[in-house]
Structure 1
Amino acid sequence: MSRSNVVLIGMPGAGKSTVGVLLAKRLALGFVDTDLLIQSHAGRSLQTIVDQQGHEALRAVEEEVLQTLTVRDHVIATGGSAVYSEAAMAALRRDGVIVHLHVDWPVLERRVTNLDTRGIAKAGDQTLRDVYDEREPLYQRHAEITVDASQLDQEATMEAIVEALQGRGQAHHT
C-alpha cells in the first residue's frame, strides 16, 4: 500500500501552510497544520511556549504531537523544527512522502519579518540565518522530494509538488 499522506517540511516562511491548503484541495486530501495542533494540545501559542519554557519545550511538544498524529489521505504542514526529531520524522514517513519546500536565504530573509512573534523554536541568541544554516541540512537529509520554491508563487509551488509526486507514482488523487 502506498503512503497516503504528503508531509511538507521546510523553514518558517517557505509556504508550507499556504501551499499545503492548495495542495490538499488539488489532490482531494484533508489538511493538517501541525503548528495549530501543537497550540491546541498545549493550550497556548507557539510563541508563549517559547517565551515561558524555551525552544526545547516547544520541540518536545511538537515531537509528542507528531508521533501521535494518525491521519491518512492528508497533506500535513509541519512546523519548521519537526526535523530535529528523528522519532517524529520516522512517524511521519510511515504513511507520508516527505516534501521539502526549499527557499533560498535572501528570499526567506525578505519573507520572515516577525521573528520574535512567530513562535520559532530557536535559542534566544540565534538569528534566523543561524536557524536556516542549522536546519537546511536536516531538511535535505529527511526529504524524499525537494521543491525549490524560491522563485515560484504558491500556485506554481503546489503544481511543482504535484508533478514530483506523479513522477514517484504517489499522487493518487490527481
Structure 2
Amino acid sequence: MSKEKSNIILIGMPGSGKSTVGVILAKMLAKRYLDTDILIQNIEKRSLQDIVDKEGHMALREIEQRVLLGVHCRNHIVSTGGSAAYSEPAMMHLKRDGIIVFLDADLPALEQRIHNYQTRGLAKRPEQSFQDLFNERLALYEKYADITVESSTLTQDQVCDAIVDRLWINPPYVSCKTQPAA
C-alpha cells in the first residue's frame, strides 16, 4: 500500500530562498511550516555559527543529521539547511513522506544575496570558498531532487508558483485537493 506524500522538502544553497519561499508556499497550500535550521537552534539552544565556532563544521552536520532523522510530520513545508544533502540517511528519511524540491540559484545570484558568508553558520571547511561550497553541494542537490526550480531570476512568489505548477504536473505528490486558479 503506498501513501500519498504530504510534505514538500526544500533544499538548496544558502540564499536560494528556502526559508522565504517555504513560508509563502505553506500559506499558498495551507500546510504547516518547519525550518530545520531554527529547529536545530531551538534543540541545541545556540546558533549554528556557535556550533561551528566551538565544535567545527562536521559537528554541525552530525547534529543536523540527528535532528532531520527525528523529523516526523505530515502536511508540512520543510525548509532544510543548505548542508542537509550531505546526509543520505536524513535525505532518504525526508523523502519517504515528501517531495524534494531543489531551489537552484546560480552562483552570481547567491553571491549577490549572501553577505554574511563567514558568519552565517554554514557547515563548511574553514578555508572553503563559497564557490567551492557551491560546486561541492550542487551534485548532492541534483541527486536528491524530485523537482528542480531555477530560482536565480524569479521572485519568491514566482518560485512558489513554479513549484505549485510542477506539483500539479506530478500528481502523486499533491496533497492539496483544490484546483489551482485559472
TM-score category, normalised to shorter length: over 0.9
Give the fraction of aligned pairs with identical amino acids, expressed as a percent: 51
Q: Distance in 1 between matches of 2:20 and 2:64?
A: 20
SS in 2 for 1:157: helix
SS in 1 for 2:118: coil
Q: Show the counterpart of 2:123.
A: 121
Please report the TM-score for the alignment, with normalisation by the length of structure 2. 0.94
What are the residue-to-residue correspondences of 1:16-165 with 2, within 5 Å?
A: 16-165=18-167
User: Does the 8 A contact of 1:27 with 1:171 survive in 2?
Assistant: no
- Give the deviation of 1:16 after TM superposition: 0.1
User: How many aligned positions are there?
Assistant: 174
Moved over 4 A (4+): none
SS in 2 for 1:100: strand
Q: Distance in 1 between matches of 2:45 and 2:175?
A: 36
- Give the deviation of 1:80 after TM superposition: 0.2
Q: Distance in 2 between matches of 1:114 and 1:52?
A: 18
Cα displacement string for residues 100-152 of structure 1 (whole angstroms, at most 9, x for unaligned residues) = 00001111111111012211110000011110000001000110100001110
- Give the deviation of 1:172 after TM superposition: 2.6
SS in 2 for 1:116: helix
Q: Show the counterpart of 2:12.
A: 10
Q: Rg larger in 1 or in 2?
A: 2
Q: Distance in 2 between matches of 1:150 and 1:37?
A: 26
Please report the TM-score for the alignment, with normalisation by the length of structure 1. 0.98
SS in 2 for 1:69: coil
Give yes or no for the alignment of 1:171 onto 2:180.
no
Q: Distance in 1 between matches of 2:34 and 2:146?
A: 20
SS in 2 for 1:2: coil
Q: Distance in 1 between matches of 2:19 and 2:82?
A: 11
- In structure 1, stretches of 5+ residues that fail to align are none
**Two-structure CA RMSD over aligned residues (Å):** 0.7
Amino acid corresponding to residue 172 of structure 1 in structure 2? S
SS in 2 for 1:147: strand
User: Does the 8 A contact of 1:12 with 1:79 survive in 2?
Assistant: yes
SS in 2 for 1:13: coil
Amino acid corresponding to residue 86 of structure 1 in structure 2? E
Q: Distance in 1 between matches of 2:4 and 2:157?
A: 25
Amino acid corresponding to residue 12 of structure 2 in structure 1? G
User: Does the 8 A contact of 1:29 with 1:75 survive in 2?
Assistant: yes
